[in-house]
């Protein structure tokens, strides 16, 4: 019997915390509740969780400050934000600061559990590949071969410009995770890329989708998170 995955729930609203912990326990996770940021950080070090669910509106410190401290640790543990703050600017800021996902309250149990499963799978995949350069990513019938600098859809090779391929490569490596516009711009266009207009990224993404024969309203590979960024379907 495999050991249960541990999830730290940093949430000050007692009813919501109990609701989440019951749902996690019913899904065979070990849930550890914390009512504030300081308690959450203390429990993080004492229990070594596999994932953290973090509310931003905590009574003793801002959730983003907790996120900063967690992101600065050498041991990388995925963090999913659970918050009533639904402004795009808040989501973008949290994701840029290292959060792996962002769920807006109120949310359903099925959605939360799906986000947890996806985030844990991605975290496990990243840990397994540490020290090993993964060269090929597959999403449905799409293959992004980094070593050969090739993209295949089915058995047909598709030509992309250098920047278009860099975008696809970045999305594939982080498949399942929302990448903000600034994150993509900086990694594709360099350190000053985040100062570039999002329009250049939209144009490149439109070209990528055209070449993949993908309808943005019915995406098969790349999903748009409006006002935030893009996410590639997990392989």
Name the residue among 114, 120, 75 with its Cα closest to residue 100. Answer: 120
Give me the torsion for CA of 154, 155, 160, 164, rounded to 10°: 30
Q: Is 89 exposed, middle or buried (0-12, 13-18, 19+ CB in 10 A)?
A: exposed
What pLDDT, on the 0 to 100 scale, is given for residue 42?
A: 93
Domain 136-232 adopts which CATH fold? Arc Repressor Mutant, subunit A (1.10.10)
Per-residue confidence (pLDDT) for residue 127, from 0 to 100? 66
User: 10 Å Cβ neighbour count for 153?
Assistant: 17
Task: Single out the residue of 123, 118, 95, 109 nearest to residue 182, CA to CA.
Answer: 95
Query: Beta-carbon neighbour count of residue 205 at 10 Å?
Result: 20
Nearest to 173 by CA among 191, 154, 159, 188: 188
Mean pLDDT by 10 residues, the chain (235 residues): 84 95 96 95 91 95 92 81 88 89 92 92 71 71 87 92 91 87 85 70 93 88 91 83
What pLDDT sits at residue 234? 79
User: Domain spanning 6-129: which CATH class is it, in words?
Assistant: alpha beta
- The structural domains of the chain, with segments of one domain joined by +, span 6-129, 136-232
DSSP string, 89-107: HHHHHHHHTT-SEEEESS-
Q: Measuring CA to CA, which residue among 137, 129, 165, 133 is closest to residue 149?
A: 165
Nearest to 51 by CA among 35, 40, 37, 59: 40
DSSP designation for 215 = B
pLDDT of amino acid 187: 83
Q: Which two tokens stand for residue 18?
A: 């109990």
Q: What is the DSSP letter of 147?
A: T
The residues pairing with 52 across neighbouring beta strands, listed in sequence order, are: 8, 79
**Four-residue CA torsion sign, 215, 206, 180, 178:** positive
Q: Do domains 6-129 and 136-232 have the same CATH topology?
A: no
What letter would DSSP give residue 176?
T
The predicted structure's pLDDT at residue 53: 97
What distance in Å separates the CA atoms of residue 141 and residue 118, rounded to the nearest whole number? 20
> Tell me, what's the pLDDT at 131?
45
Q: pLDDT value at position 195?
A: 63
The predicted pLDDT at position 1 comes to 46
Tell me the sheet residues that pair with 7. 31, 51
The answer to whether 62 and 40 are in contact (CB under 8 A) is no
The single residue listed with the structure tokens 């019938």 is: 141
């Amino acid at each position: 019997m495999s050991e249960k995955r541990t999830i730290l729930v940093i949430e000050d609203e007692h009813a919501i915390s109990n609701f989440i912990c019951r749902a996690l326990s019913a899904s065979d996770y070990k849930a550890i509740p914390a009512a504030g940021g300081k308690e959450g950080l203390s429990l993080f070090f004492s229990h070594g969780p596999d994932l953290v669910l973090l509310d931003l509106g905590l009574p003793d410190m801002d959730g983003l400050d907790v996120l900063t401290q967690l992101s600065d640790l050498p041991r990388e543990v995925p963090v999913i934000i659970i918050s009533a703050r639904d402004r795009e600017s808040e989501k973008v800021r949290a994701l840029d600061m290292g959060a792996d996902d962002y769920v807006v309250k109120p949310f359903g149990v099925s959605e939360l559990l799906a986000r947890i499963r996806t985030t844990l799978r991605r975290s496990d995949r990243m840990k397994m590949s540490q020290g090993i350069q993964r060269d090929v990513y597959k999403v449905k019938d799409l293959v992004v071969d980094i070593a050969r600098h090739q993209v295949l859809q089915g058995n047909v090779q598709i030509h992309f410009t250098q920047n278009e391929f860099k975008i696809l490569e970045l999305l594939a490596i982080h498949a399942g995770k929302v990448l903000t516009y600034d994150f993509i711009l900086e990694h594709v266009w360099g350190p000053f890329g985040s100062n570039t207009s999002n329009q250049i990224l939209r144009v490149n993404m439109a070209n990528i989708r055209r070449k993949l024969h993908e309808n943005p309203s019915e995406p098969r590979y790349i999903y748009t998170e409006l006002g935030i960024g893009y996410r590639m379907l997990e392989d």
